[in-house]
Amino acid sequence: MASRKNYYVGVDLGGTSLRAMVVDEKYRLLASEKVRTPVGQKPRVTIAKMAEVIKAALGSAAIRSGNVAAVSVGAPGTINARHGVVEQAPNLGWTNVPLASELRQRLGVPVRVDNDVNVGMMGEYALGAGRGAKDLVGIFVGTGIGGALIINGKLFEGACGGAGEIGHTVILVNGPLCHCGHRGCAEALASRTAMERDVRAAIQSGQKSLVPKIMRKKGHTRMTSSVIQSALNKHDRVMEEVFKRAQYYLGILVANAVNLLDPERVVIGGGIAARLRDEFVAAIRETAYEYFIHAGRARAVKILPGKLDDDAGPLGAVVLARRGAGVEQGTLKK
């Protein structure tokens, strides 16, 4: 019994934080650790930190690495999952980093690496808001907008592994500049970064807003989802308008995806959805329904906020490690 490999570590390597969760075969949480992602460091510094965090999580769960079946990582950017290589991760400053083999050397256990949005949506599909559906579109709204497609129970990765880049769907031709270099992408219209840009522009043009004060009070230099929530609770006019516009564009984005793929469900993940739930998703849903081409059965498509929040990434990584890209659904045991 003692030598059985029945434990897993799910890791979420984000641009701001690095999180590791140790779970057993039934996804019961045994330990978790979270630290800030080292910024502006060489990949090997970040990888050493990852190994440290994983070892610390295993230590607090009292699990030896010999009992770990796999460590599974969700990482941002373009990932070659077959070889465990992070090909491009602009917000980490990484190019062609062999993350899986580097971590495996340090930990002595098998390591797999997938795209963070894909693993997050796999978590929602298997254990969260996607349970019961076979075809699912996931849209993560954060500093950017990411997407993932699960078709007939399998992660759809595309010919080159690049499927799901829904954030770069052009919604407004000649709209605001996106960091990808094009204009009017959904990400440039409705991400948290876009909302912050619009709030700052409104203030610059002389409109009054509580957002800067709320940011100072919370000690944030960016307009985080908690700042958005506080500003909305205080009925800040600028925030309300910017938020409403973002919801409208997201509604159109969802409708485009549904018209193309006819999924059973659309799951909206990310920090804003986690905090505001239906206060965020309801208006997106209503706009989407207006633009559905099969209007008669539009409401059969469920558009829901994610359920697992921060756990979606680490849990989804474990789901993928256990089952590969085709995944059974299950009940999450807390």
Rounded least distance, CB 232 to Zn ion, Å: 26
CB distance 193 to 199 below 8 Å = no
User: CB of residue 185 vs Zn ion: minimum separation in angstroms?
Assistant: 3
In the complex, what is the shortest distance from the CB of residue 245 to Zn ion, in angstroms, rounded to a whole number? 18
- DSSP symbols for 233-252: HTT-HHHHHHHHHHHHHHHH
Smallest distance from Zn ion to CB 175, Å: 10
Nearer to Zn ion among residue 131 and residue 197 (C-beta):
197
C-beta of 186: minimal distance to Zn ion in Å?
8
Q: H helices then E strands: how many in the chain?
A: 11, 13
168 binds Zn ion (CB under 5 A): yes
How far apart CA 188 and CA 185 sit, in angstroms, is 5
Q: Which of 87, 84, 77, 194 is nearest to 146 (CA)?
A: 77
Rounded Cα distance, 287 and 59, in Å: 48
DSSP letter, residue 134:
S
Q: Between 182 and 322, name the residue whose CB sits nearer to Zn ion.
A: 182
- Kindly indicate which of the ranges 101-109, 165-173, 225-233, 316-324 contains the residues binding Zn ion, using the contact rule CB under 5 A: 165-173
**For residue 206, how far is the Cα from the chain centroid?**
34
Residue 26 neighbours by CB under 8 Å, 6+ apart: 333
Note the Cα 95 to chain centre separation in Å: 21
Q: Which of 99, 185, 281, 317 binds Zn ion (CB under 5 A)?
A: 185
Question: Does residue number 180 form part of the binding site for Zn ion (CB under 5 A)?
Answer: yes
Asked if 215 interacts with Zn ion (CB under 5 A), we say no
Question: Which residue type occupies 80?
Answer: N
Nearer to Zn ion, 70 or 189 (CB): 189
Least distance between Zn ion and beta carbon 188 (Å):
6
* Binding span for Zn ion by CB under 5 A among 58-66, 141-149, 176-184, 288-296: 176-184
Contact between 178 and Zn ion per CB under 5 A: yes
- Interface residues with Zn ion (CB under 5 A) are 168, 178, 180, 182, 185
